[in-house]
Chains A and B, each alone.
Chain A
């Protein structure tokens, strides 16, 4: 069996002090390297909260979270920042590109964050944009790109620094069916590697075919896990 990239044990998350909201209620999860896991569930079921905890953006209230060998709940805020900078790539539903930067400049941002020189960062960003079929749109600003093209730039930005963990939040939600399908194909072709784990949050039934592992959530809990053609838990 492949080495585990992400492991959660009895993770809970409670928001608010007055009337607490239990966003996660004892989540147990394992995602091995080389897998594209889809986190599926209705709005408000806790999948984005779980994604934030796995990506080091939120601390769990209780439980253990181990990602790429790091126990995230034990890391300090600064250590979490470093973890995100080096190990995590993000793809957002609304792309979140900087509107005043061109496609290639946007894709280079994670390298600039790591302190890599601008020229080298732009060179590496151009390479990955080329792989994603954006060679002719590198100098375009986000408002000059279609939704699908913006999402490809966002994927380039998420992968440019070679993270070992990629998190995607509803990457197809703002796209039409064809663009959504092509985006998922790109993620599967380019992002999925034996040394990387990919988790995609979605409630788009059209993309379920792309996952190696389907994790269904409801009411802050994982209610079912499926491998293609194989039910593994219930």
Chain B
């Protein structure tokens, strides 16, 4: 009878595609909006993951997220280095500066100051130039997105000079860096230069990047640092989570995206539900005939659930496919953040399953209460 159910469903092409469109649209909207939401949250914590060689981040206890800088005293670095289990600990500067270019143009930039000796937190991948050139006087490396923003359409030209805080900076390289939440161009430089490029403050140590000794876990050593120094020490994942959680709690992002996801769910349910219900109502005579011929209610439930599941699976596949295509297309965009973890796919799948169940239940009701004698009425 599953075969009969399949033929009944796909035989009426218009309704079949109508239901598919409803499910696909809901899937696309839910998956795409959730993925942009995840992409934005990932952007918020991208700088933490960009510093791949730093498993532990140490900061002022009052800090709430990665952009909430509360500088520490230089002494703290020595105290962290003194904690048993710490393999190494280095300085890391993070702050905003203002760059002035030759044409009289000003631009707010994000300055990242790497430890002069070890350059922990350096860019992941150079596009042009070499990381070692950062050791030259006044040298800076800029992220490629920032370069394209400042000099749109121009080839990468090293040796360009500009000013930050009345100090001369020379571009020695262009690198890849993850998109940040603030979208400012990112300037990598050495710590000692970064504090000169940035507006003067009494304390300049934004973060201490540290690593555990090989036999110890980052979590364990971070705990020890907290106990010994009273500073906040988090593993990379913990710090990313703290940052994401801050944005979730303190911004309207979840509400805005949540609204769209809910709309997708309701619109999808309405379209798919209405079409599926109409399909069932128009087939009531056929279902009645089957009932008269000895098909039990249980088998009819199976048939309708199969029909629902079939359009659900195909519609989900189409919708997810479109969402992934959108993600691939947006990869080259500077403005769109798109990240689709497996949780989004599973969550969307569950939402589609719920749509199918709701839709099927409404249709099932009509079929289950149908008297088989109904088929004798003309």
Contact = CB atoms under 8 A, between A and B. Distances in A.
Interface in B1-53: 1, 3-4, 7-8, 10-12
A109 B290 contact: yes
A82 B294 contact: yes
Contact of B373 (A57, A81, A82): A57
Nearest to B287: A98
Interface string B328-371: 00000000000000000000000000000000000000000001
B15 to A, nearest CB: 11
Given A52-B376, A78-B296, A113-B1, A101 B290 contact: no
A109 B292 CA distance: 12
Interface residues of B, number: 24
A52 B373 contact: yes
Dominant SS among interface residues on chain B: helix
Nearest to B6: A100
A133 interface: no
Given A52-B373, A58-B373, A92-B289, A98 B7 contact: yes
B296 A81 contact: yes
Size class of A's contact patch?
20 to 34
A93 B377 CA distance: 9
B106 to A, nearest CB: 69
B176 interface: no
Contacts of A100: 7-8, 10-12
A169 interface: yes
Interface in A65-119: 78, 81-82, 84-86, 88, 90, 92-94, 96, 98-101, 105, 109-110, 112-114, 118
Contacts of A92: 289, 375-376
B273 interface: no
A50 to B, nearest CB: 11
B376 A109 contact: no
A88 B289 CA distance: 13
B262 interface: no
A78 B292 CA distance: 12
A88 B294 CA distance: 9
Contacts of B290: 109, 113
B1 A112 contact: yes
Interface centre among A52, A55, A110 (most CB of B within 10 A): A52
A62 interface: no
A90 B1 contact: no
Contact of B294 (A98, A105, A113): A113
B378 interface: yes
A46 to B, nearest CB: 12
Nearest to A83: B294
Interface string B149-184: 000000000000000000000000000000000000
Contacts of A88: 294
Nearest to A101: B7
A112 B4 contact: yes
Contacts of B371: 57-58
B1 A81 contact: no
A61 interface: no
A98 B293 contact: no
A51 interface: yes
Interface of A: 48, 51-52, 55, 57-58, 78, 81-82, 84-86, 88, 90, 92-94, 96, 98-101, 105, 109-110, 112-114, 118, 169
9 contacts: A48-B376, A85-B294, A86-B294, A92-B289, A92-B375, A100-B8, A105-B7, A109-B290, A113-B1
Given A81-B294, A96-B375, 16 more contacts: A48-B376, A52-B376, A57-B292, A81-B296, A86-B294, A93-B378, A94-B378, A96-B289, A98-B4, A98-B289, A100-B8, A101-B7, A113-B290, A113-B293, A113-B294, A118-B3
